C-alpha cells in the first residue's frame, strides 16, 4: 500500500470517528434531555460582578449596557465592570455612558487599558483583581441578557457548594437576517441544544463558551485564574477547573440572545480563533487530561475528542488534496469514501434534533437552511486548517475580534460599516481548492470513478460558495478603498449627536 493510501485511510477513519461521536451526542441527549433542572428556591442575593470585555464595539455598546443595567438584582449587590481595550472612539462613548449610569445610582466602572496584553484573557484578569462579587457573570459585547438572567442562575450556586460555573444557551438576535446567519444559527443550536446538554448531563467535560455564563470567584482562583497562552481562555479555564473537581451546570432553558456575524469574513475570523484556541488548549492540557487518575477513561477520551474537534477541517482538506493523486495513479478511492459515507448522516441528525427540539412547529422552515450549513462547514475547512496548523507549529497571533454591526432586522445593513472586513488571501486559496475539486471531477469522470464525484462536487460547491461570499461581502471595502488596521478597523473622526462618523 502506498503512503498516500495510508494517509488517506487514516484521515477517513478519523473523520468517521468524529462523525460517530456526533451520533453518540444525539443518543446521550435523548437519554438525558427530559431531566428537570428546577431553579432552587433561595432568597439570598450574594454580591455579583458583571464583567463586559469590549474592544472597538461602537455600534453595540449602548445596547449591551442597556441590557446589563436592566438586570433585576439588588443594586447594592451588583457591580458592573466595563473592561475596555478599545483603540477607537468606543472609549469616549463608554466613558460617557458609564458616567450616565453612575448618576442613576448604579455601581459601574470603566477599566480602560492602553495595551492589549493578554487580549480578552488579560482584560478579564485585570478586572478580576478589582471584582468585589462572590460570583462573576460575563457577557461579550454582542449579547443582550434578559432582565431575569441572574435570578435564574445565581440560586444554583447557593444550593451546590462545589458548583464552579453555570453556562446558559445562546439565542440569536438576527438568526433570520440572511442565509449565512440562518446556517450559523443551526450550527450553534446543534452545539448548545444537543452537545452541551449531552456532555453536562452525562457527567462529561463541558466548556464555558466565553460569555453568557456565571463563575464562582473561588473556582477561578483555585483553577489558576485567567491565562492568555491560548486564544480560547474560556476553554482553557474550563478544563483546568474541571480537572480540579469543580462541577459545571448547563441551563438550556435560560437563553441569552446574541448577534450572529452577518459577514462571511467576520464568521471566518471567529472560526479561526476558535479553531486555533481549541487546538492550543488541547496541546496545553491534553497530556494532563489523559494522565489524571481521578477521571474515568471514557470521560478523558470524550474530553480529548472535545478539545480536538477542529481537526476535522485539516482532515477534510487532506482528503481533497489526496484524491487527485489517487485518480492519476488509477488507485481505487471508492472503498475508503464508501466507509466514510456510512457515518455521514450523524452530524445532520444532530442538527435536525436541535431544530426539532427548539422549533418543532417551524421545523421545515428552520431546517431548510441546513444545505447552506453543509457548504459553510466544508467551505471554511481551509481557514480552520490554517488555524490548527498555527497552533501545532506554535505560531503566535493576536486575538482578532469578531466585528459587530448592530444587525437586528432584515432591513439593517452592514456593508458600508467601517468595521466591515476586507478581502484576504484565504479567498484565493478557497478559489484554488474549488478549481482543484473541479479538475478532480473531470478526472473522475474520465476514469469512470463515479462514486467519488458527489464528494468532490460538495468540495467544489463549498469552497466556491465561501470564496464567492468573501468577494461579495468585501465589495464595499474594495469599492471605497478603505485602509484598515490589523483588526480591520478604521479610526473615527468625531462624534455627531452620539453617533460617530468615520473616514
Q: Could you confirm whether 85 is annotated as catalytic?
A: yes
Task: Count CB neighbours of 131 within 10 A.
Answer: 20
- Selecting among 88, 140, 142, 234, the annotated active-site residue is 234
- Selecting among 84, 85, 140, 236, the annotated active-site residue is 85
Taking the C-alpha atoms of residue 5 and residue 10, their distance in angstroms, rounded to an integer, is 9
Taking the C-alpha atoms of residue 387 and residue 381, their distance in angstroms, rounded to an integer, is 10
Opening angle at CA 302, ends 231 and 280, nearest 5: 20
- The percent helix, strand, coil of the chain (3-state, each to 5) is 55, 10, 35
Task: Count CB neighbours of 407 within 10 A.
Answer: 24
Q: List, in order, residues 6 or more apart from 23 with CB less than 8 Å away.
A: 343, 346, 349, 350
Taking the C-alpha atoms of residue 143 and residue 183, their distance in angstroms, rounded to an integer, is 19
Please report the DSSP string for 290-304 in residue order.
HH-SSS-HHHHHHHH
Nearest CA-CA partner of 108 in 117, 116, 99: 99
Nearest CA-CA partner of 203 in 349, 31, 39: 31
Phi-psi region of 300 (alpha: psi -120 to 50; beta: other; left: phi over 0): alpha
Write out 202-226 in H/E/C secondary structure: CCCCCCCCCCCEEEEHHHHHHCCCC
Contact of 466 with 376, CB cutoff 8 Å? yes
Contact of 168 with 149, CB cutoff 8 Å? yes
Nearest CA-CA partner of 484 in 467, 499, 497, 503: 503
448: which DSSP letter?
T
Distances (CA, A) of 390 to 120, 423, 429, 488: 19, 21, 16, 20
Task: Count CB neighbours of 495 within 10 A.
Answer: 14
Task: Count CB neighbours of 291 within 10 A.
Answer: 9
Taking the C-alpha atoms of residue 44 and residue 423, their distance in angstroms, rounded to an integer, is 52
Read off φ and ψ for residue 336, nearest 5 degrees.
Answer: -65, -50
Nearest CA-CA partner of 267 in 131, 128, 383, 97: 383
Residue with cell 442613576: 104
DSSP three-state, residue 345? coil
The whole-angstrom distance between residue 126's C-alpha and the CA centroid of its chain comes to 23
Residues labelled as active-site residues: 85, 234
Amino acid at each position: 500500500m502506498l503512503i498516500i493510501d495510508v494517509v488517506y485511510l487514516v484521515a477517513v477513519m478519523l473523520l468517521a470517528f468524529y462523525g460517530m461521536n456526533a451520533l453518540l451526542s444525539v443518543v446521550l441527549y435523548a437519554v438525558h434531555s427530559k431531566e428537570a433542572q428546577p431553579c432552587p428556591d433561595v432568597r439570598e442575593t450574594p454580591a455579583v460582578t458583571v464583567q463586559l470585555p469590549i474592544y472597538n464595539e461602537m455600534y453595540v455598546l449602548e445596547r449591551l449596557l442597556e441590557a446589563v443595567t436592566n438586570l433585576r438584582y439588588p443594586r447594592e449587590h451588583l457591580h458592573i465592570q466595563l473592561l475596555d481595550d478599545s483603540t477607537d472612539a468606543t472609549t469616549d462613548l463608554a466613558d460617557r455612558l458609564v458616567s450616565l449610569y453612575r448618576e442613576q445610582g448604579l455601581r459601574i466602572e470603566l477599566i480602560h487599558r492602553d495595551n492589549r496584553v493578554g487580549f480578552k484573557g488579560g482584560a478579564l484578569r485585570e478586572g478580576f483583581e478589582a471584582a468585589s462579587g462572590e460570583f462573576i457573570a460575563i457577557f461579550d459585547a454582542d449579547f443582550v441578557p434578559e432582565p431575569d438572567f441572574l435570578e435564574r442562575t445565581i440560586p444554583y450556586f447557593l444550593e451546590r457548594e462545589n458548583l464552579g460555573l453555570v453556562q446558559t444557551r445562546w439565542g440569536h438576535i438576527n438568526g433570520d437576517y440572511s442565509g449565512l446567519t440562518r446556517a450559523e444559527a443551526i450550527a450553534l443550536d446543534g452545539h448548545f441544544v444537543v452537545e452541551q446538554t449531552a456532555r453536562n448531563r452525562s457527567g462529561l467535560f463541558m466548556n464555558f463558551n466565553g460569555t453568557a455564563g456565571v463563575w464562582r470567584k473561588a473556582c477561578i482562583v483555585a483553577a489558576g485564574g485567567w491565562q492568555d497562552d491560548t486564544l480560547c481562555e474560556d476553554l482553557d479555564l474550563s478544563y483546568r477547573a474541571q480537572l480540579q473537581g469543580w462541577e459545571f451546570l448547563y441551563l438550556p432553558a435560560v437563553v441569552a440572545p446574541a448577534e450572529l456575524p452577518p459577514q462571511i469574513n467576520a464568521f471566518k475570523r471567529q472560526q479561526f480563533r476558535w479553531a486555533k484556541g481549541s487546538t492550543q488548549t488541547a496541546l496545553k492540557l491534553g497530556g494532563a487530561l489523559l494522565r489524571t487518575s481521578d477521571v474515568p477513561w471514557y470521560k478523558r477520551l470524550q474530553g480529548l475528542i472535545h478539545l480536538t474537534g477542529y481537526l476535522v477541517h485539516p482532515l477534510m482538506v487532506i482528503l481533497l488534496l489526496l484524491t487527485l493523486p489517487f485518480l492519476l495513479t488509477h488507485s481505487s478511492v471508492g472503498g475508503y469514501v464508501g466507509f466514510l459515507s456510512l457515518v455521514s448522516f450523524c452530524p445532520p441528525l444532530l442538527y435536525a434534533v436541535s431544530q426539532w427540539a427548539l422549533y418543532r412547529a417551524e421545523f421545515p422552515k428552520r431546517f431548510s437552511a441546513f444545505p447552506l450549513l453543509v457548504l459553510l462547514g466544508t467551505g471554511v475547512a481551509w481557514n480552520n486548517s490554517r488555524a490548527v496548523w498555527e497552533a501545532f507549529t506554535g505560531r503566535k497571533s493576536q486575538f482578532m475580534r469578531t466585528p459587530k454591526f448592530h444587525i437586528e432586522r432584515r432591513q439593517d445593513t452592514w456593508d458600508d460599516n467601517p468595521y466591515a472586513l476586507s478581502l484576504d488571501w484565504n479567498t484565493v486559496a478557497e478559489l484554488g481548492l474549488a478549481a482543484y475539486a473541479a479538475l478532480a471531477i473531470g478526472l473522475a469522470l474520465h476514469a469512470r470513478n463515479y462514486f467519488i464525484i458527489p464528494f468532490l462536487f460538495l468540495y467544489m460547491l463549498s469552497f466556491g460558495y465561501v470564496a464567492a461570499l468573501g468577494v461579495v461581502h468585501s465589495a464595499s471595502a474594495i469599492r471605497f478603498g478603505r485602509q484598515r488596521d490589523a483588526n480591520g478597523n478604521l479610526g473615527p473622526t468625531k462624534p455627531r449627536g452620539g453617533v460617530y462618523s468615520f473616514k
